[in-house]
Structures are given as structure tokens and as C-alpha cells.
Amino acid sequence: MRLLGKKELYSFKQRHADARKQVEAWEAEVKDADWRSPHDMKRQYPTADPLGNLNTIFNICGNKYRLWVLISYEEQVVLVKKIGTHEEYDKWQIK
């Protein structure tokens, strides 16, 4: 998969050092992934929540943080929309 929106991840890692290793592991795993459907992604990340057509939420650090991405399985692209605390996630307008 191609990973877009790395600047958002970089900025987050600078503010939340406790999540750095887990976010970096997620980045590496996504780059190596070959997801063709939400089922493929869920096999690797059973706690991830596909929401609607392209939106997916990943739990980071045991659900302390949330990562919102758009996944185009057909085009093999993951786009980072937002990453933040659970409290911040509650304010996001995910459509």
C-alpha cells in the first residue's frame, strides 16, 4: 500500500512520544500490506473499525489514541486524515 499523509503522523509522533514506536510499526506494516478488501485489513488489524465506504479507524496504544484513514483498496492507497487522542476523536466529523 502507498501511505499518504505522513506529515500528520510525524507531527503526532513529536507531540506523543509514548506512541512513536507503535505508529512507526503501523506505518511499516501498511507499506508492506497488500489489502484488497476490508476483510484483508481486518485479518491484520481485527480491532480496526471500517466505517462506511473508505473510512477506517485504527486504535493506537490500546485505544489511547485513534488514527483515521481513508483506504482505497482498488488503488492500494492509505490516506491519513487525522490522528489524536480519544477525546479529540470524539469531536471528529467522520463521514
Strands 77-85 and 65-72: antiparallel
| pTM for this entry | 0.93
- The three cell numbers locating residue 8: 500528520
Fold of 2-89: YaeB-like fold (3.30.2310)
Could you tell me what percent of the chain has a pLDDT over 70? Answer: 99
Q: What is the pLDDT of residues 8-39, one digit of tens each?
A: 999 999 999 999 999 999 999 999 999 999 99
Express each pLDDT in 53-73 by its tens digit: 799 999 999 889 999 999 999
DSSP 62: T
Position 78 scores a pLDDT of 98
Question: Which three cell numbers, joined as nine digits, stand for 27?
Answer: 506505518
Q: List Cα–Cα distances, 94 to 13, 21, 67, 89, in angstroms.
A: 22, 26, 12, 9
Predicted pLDDT at 73: 95
